[in-house]
Amino acid sequence: MSDLKKYIAEFIGTFWLTFAGCGSAVIAAGFPDVGIGLLGVSFAFGLTVITMAYSVGHISGCHLNPAVTIGLAAGDRFPKSKILPYVLARVAGGIVAAMILYVIATGSPSFDPAGGFAANGYGAHSPGSYGVGAAFIVEFLLTMVFLFVIMGATHGKAPAGFAPIAIGLALTLIHLVSIPITNTSVNPARSTGPALFAGGWALGQLWLFWLAPILGGAAGGYLYSWLSAEPSENVTGTGAASAAQA
């Protein structure tokens, strides 16, 4: 498989995660009478990973998340030389998804981008008004655990074919815990797209949603690699065929 096809697959996968996940929050979460709420948004993000892992996992590994790639590299599951192009493809996918979602959302007269546009935040911009310390801890910790799940679910001794389900459900659980705290990032690419269109405070706080997930991902990848004591001969992603997100 050519590298270009892998990058395009990661672009498409991250586009879907950002468009469908953030779209569920922007369009459907609070819709009158039939809004899907926190539970629905959490499942939407998890379902994006499951559907794309089975679709493009055999092409690119379906990381969909710069923190996942860095975590897999820290755990000796991914070549460090390919981190940058994978990350750039995902950020581009997240930005294009946010752009299209913004165009759609502005079709409603009630849409107000000042409401946050599914951007991640802390302090006054946290759904539950959680401070920067709490936001950093939860983003670091949940990304670390996410990588731990990914590394375990894609291990050569794990049941074959079920990794996307375990990883998608892990992302669902992560959102159930952290939407009230930060609107849930654990994924710098997912955070960057909406922040560009929300502007202002969202761009000012974007640093945390790069730094904490990347550090957490690296910690989770390294921890599982050390714990399993079987580094690097397994898979490189979240997909069904390659046996590994968000």
Give the model confidence (pLDDT) of 213-223 as tens digits: 999 999 999 99
Domain membership flag for residue 198: yes
**16-to-37, 48, 154, 196, 224 alpha-carbon distances in Å:** 20, 7, 22, 18, 28
**180 located within any domain:** yes
In a domain, 201, yes or no: yes
Q: What's residue 245's pLDDT?
A: 42
For the residues of 184-211, what is the DSSP string, one character each? --S-HHHHHHHHHHH-THHHHTTTHHHH
Number of domains in the chain: 1
Q: Is residue 14 part of a domain?
A: yes
Q: What is the distance between the terminal CA atoms of the chain, rounded to a whole angstrom?
A: 23
Q: Provide the CATH number for the domain around residue 191.
A: 1.20.1080.10
Rounded Cα distance, 53 and 150, in Å: 12
Burial of 96 (0-12, 13-18, 19+ CB in 10 A): middle
Determine how many CB atoms are found less than 10 A away from the CB of residue 129: 12
- 104-125 b/e (C-beta count within 10 Å ≥ 16 → b): ebeeeeeeebeebbbbbbbeeb
Is there a domain that residue 9 lies in? yes
The mean per-residue pLDDT over the stretch 63-92 comes to: 95
Give yes or no for residue 244 having a pLDDT over 50. Answer: no
Q: What percent of the chain has pLDDT over 70?
A: 93
Residue 244 placed within a domain: no
Dihedral sign, Cα of residue 34, residue 37, residue 41, residue 47: negative
pLDDT digits (tens, 9 = 90+) for 93-143: 999 999 999 999 999 888 877 777 999 999 999 999 999 999 999 999 999
Domain that includes residue 91, residue range: 3-228
